[in-house]
C-alpha cells in the first residue's frame, strides 16, 4: 500500500494546469458588446499568440489580420459596419507579433508595422502588414450621433485620423512587466449641429471682411471651413490637454474630453488672428486711406465678437453634452489580469454611454504570466519513459524481496512450533 502511494506520487497529473515558461499576445482588435457576427470571428480576433511551454526554442508568431473575415461585423444598434471601408473603424499597414523566449522573458506588439522597430527592436519585414479598409494612416474612426445612437439629427460628427498607432508589452527574465504605446499625427474634424451653425456664421463674417481686405491690398485665406466644421490638429488637442505629447497622457485618459475646449480655442484664435491682421493693415494705411477697410472691420466685429464671447454656451457646452453619450477614445490603457498577465492598449474606442453598445481595443499587447525556468520539465519524454520503467522494475523487485522475507519468517515460526 505504501509502495503504491509512493509510485502514484511520482506520476504527473495530466489534469493539473501547468505553468508555462513564457507567453505573449499581440492583438490588433479586441471587441466586446452588441456586435453582430462576433462569435464567427473569435479565432481571427485572438491575434498573434506565442506560448513557450518547455524551453525547447523561442516561439515567434507573426499573424496579419484577415480583412475578409472581419467585414461582416456590424453594430447591432444601428446595423452600421464596424470595420472596413464603409465601417466605423479602418486600419492600415498594421500587424500582430508575439515572442515567448526560453529564458522566461516575452514581448508582444500590435499596430503600425513601422513602429515595431522602435518599440520592440524587430527588423523590417518581421511584422507582416495588413489592411482593414483604406485609412490615410494607421487608423481612421468615424463617429456620429445618427450612426451610433440612431435618430434623425447629427448633434456631433467626428472624423478621426490617426497617423501612428501601436502598443507593446514586455516581461523581463526577472518578471518585470512594462508597456509602451505610440499615438501620433492625430487630427479630428468636428461637425454636427452643436458646432456647424456657429462655424458658418463666423466663416461668412470673415469672408466678407477678407474681400474688403483684398481690395485694400491684403490677401489672406479664410482659416475657417465653409460648412462650419472645425478641423483640430494634434497641436490643438495637446494645448487643450496641457501636455507636449499624446504619449505623455496618464493611463486611461479619454481624448475626446478635450475636443470641446479645443474647438472653442481654435475658433477664437483663428478669427482673432484675422481681425488683428486686418487691424494692422488699417493702422498702416492711415485714417483716410484705410477708412473703408476700417468700416468693414467694425461691421465684422459687431457680428463676430458676440459670437466669440458666447462660445462657451453655444458650442462648448452642447458639444460636450453630445460627445459624452456618443463615444470615448481612451488612450494609454494599462491593466493587470488576475492571473498576473499585463496588457498595454494604445487606444480603446467606447461606443455609446460608457461603452454600453460596444468596446473596441485598438493595438493591444499582453505578456505573462511567465514561470520561467521553473516551468521547464526536469526530464524529457524519453528519460521519463526510462525512469518509469526503472520505477516499475524497482517496485517488482521490492515486492519479491518483501514476499521472500515474509515466507522465511513464516517458515521459522512453523519450525519453532514443531520443536
pLDDT per residue as tens digits for the range 48-70: 999 999 999 999 999 999 988 88
13 located within any domain: no
Q: Looking at residue 378, what is its pLDDT?
A: 52
390 located within any domain: no
381 located within any domain: no
Q: Looking at residue 401, what is its pLDDT?
A: 45
Distance between CA atoms of residues 331 and 333, nearest Å: 6
Q: Looking at residue 377, what is its pLDDT?
A: 67
Kindly report the CA angle at 233 between 231 and 234, in degrees rounded to 5? 150
Write the DSSP string, 330-361. EEEEEEE-TTS-EEEEEEEEEESGGGSSEEEE
392 located within any domain: no
Residue 336 belongs to domain spanning: 19-375
Q: Looking at residue 4, what is its pLDDT?
A: 41
406 located within any domain: no
For residue 217, give the 3-state DSSP assignment: coil
For residue 219, give the 3-state DSSP assignment: coil
Q: Looking at residue 72, what is its pLDDT?
A: 84
Cell for 144? 456620429
Query: What pTM, to 2 d.p., does this model score?
Result: 0.83
399 located within any domain: no
Phi-psi region of 104 (alpha: psi -120 to 50; beta: other; left: phi over 0): left
For residue 390, give the 3-state DSSP assignment: helix
Q: Looking at residue 257, what is its pLDDT?
A: 97
Distance between CA atoms of residues 350 and 357, nearest Å: 8
User: Which ranges of the chain have pLDDT less than 50?
Assistant: 1-16, 379-403, 405-419
For residue range 306-356, list pLDDT tens digits in order: 999 999 999 999 999 999 999 999 999 999 999 999 999 999 999 999 999
413 located within any domain: no
Q: Looking at residue 86, what is its pLDDT?
A: 86
Using CB atoms within 10 Å of the CB of residue 226, give its burial: 0 to 12 exposed, 13 to 18 middle, 19+ buried.
exposed
Phi-psi region of 292 (alpha: psi -120 to 50; beta: other; left: phi over 0): alpha
Q: Looking at residue 97, what is its pLDDT?
A: 98
Q: Looking at residue 296, what is its pLDDT?
A: 97
Question: How many structural domains does the chain have?
Answer: 1
Amino acid at each position: 500500500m505504501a509502495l503504491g502511494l509512493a509510485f502514484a506520487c511520482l506520476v504527473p497529473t495530466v489534469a493539473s494546469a501547468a505553468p508555462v515558461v513564457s507567453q505573449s499576445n499581440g492583438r490588433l482588435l479586441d471587441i466586446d458588446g452588441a456586435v453582430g457576427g462576433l462569435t464567427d470571428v473569435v479565432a481571427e480576433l485572438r491575434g498573434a499568440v506565442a506560448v513557450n511551454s518547455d524551453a525547447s526554442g523561442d516561439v515567434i508568431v507573426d499573424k496579419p489580420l484577415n480583412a475578409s473575415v472581419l467585414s461582416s461585423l456590424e453594430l447591432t444598434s444601428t446595423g452600421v459596419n464596424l470595420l472596413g471601408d464603409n465601417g466605423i473603424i479602418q486600419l492600415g499597414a498594421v500587424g500582430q507579433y508575439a515572442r515567448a523566449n526560453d529564458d522566461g522573458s516575452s514581448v508582444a506588439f500590435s499596430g503600425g508595422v513601422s513602429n515595431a522597430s522602435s518599440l520592440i527592436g524587430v527588423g523590417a519585414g518581421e511584422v507582416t502588414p495588413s489592411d482593414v479598409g483604406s485609412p490615410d494612416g494607421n487608423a481612421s474612426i468615424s463617429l456620429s450621433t445618427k450612426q451610433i445612437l440612431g435618430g434623425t439629427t447629427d448633434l456631433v460628427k467626428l472624423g478621426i485620423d490617426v497617423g501612428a498607432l501601436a502598443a507593446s508589452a514586455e516581461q523581463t527574465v526577472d518578471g518585470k512587466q512594462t508597456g509602451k504605446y505610440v499615438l501620433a499625427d492625430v487630427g479630428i474634424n468636428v461637425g454636427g449641429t452643436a458646432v456647424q451653425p456657429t462655424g458658418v456664421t463666423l466663416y461668412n463674417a470673415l469672408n466678407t471682411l477678407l474681400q474688403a481686405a483684398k481690395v485694400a491690398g491684403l490677401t489672406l485665406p479664410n482659416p475657417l471651413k465653409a460648412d462650419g466644421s472645425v478641423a483640430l490638429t494634434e497641436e490643438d488637442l495637446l494645448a487643450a490637454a496641457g501636455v507636449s505629447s499624446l504619449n505623455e497622457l496618464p493611463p486611461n485618459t479619454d481624448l475626446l474630453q478635450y475636443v470641446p475646449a479645443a474647438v472653442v480655442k481654435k475658433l477664437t484664435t483663428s478669427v482673432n488672428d484675422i481681425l488683428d491682421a486686418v487691424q494692422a493693415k488699417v493702422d498702416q494705411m492711415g485714417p483716410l486711406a484705410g477708412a473703408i477697410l476700417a468700416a468693414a472691420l467694425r461691421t465684422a466685429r459687431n457680428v463676430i465678437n458676440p459670437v466669440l464671447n458666447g462660445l462657451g454656451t453655444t458650442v462648448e457646452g452642447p458639444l460636450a453634452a453630445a460627445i459624452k453619450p456618443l463615444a470615448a477614445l481612451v488612450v494609454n490603457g494599462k491593466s493587470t489580469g488576475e492571473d498576473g498577465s499585463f496588457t498595454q492598449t494604445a487606444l480603446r474606442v467606447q461606443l455609446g454611454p460608457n461603452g454600453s453598445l460596444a468596446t473596441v481595443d485598438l493595438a493591444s499587447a499582453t505578456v505573462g504570466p511567465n514561470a520561467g525556468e521553473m516551468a521547464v520539465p526536469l526530464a524529457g519524454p524519453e528519460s521519463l519513459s526510462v525512469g518509469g520503467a526503472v520505477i516499475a522494475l524497482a517496485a517488482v523487485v521490492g515486492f519479491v524481496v518483501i514476499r521472500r522475507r515474509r515466507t522465511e519468517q513464516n517458515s521459522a515460526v512453523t519450525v519453532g512450533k514443531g520443536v
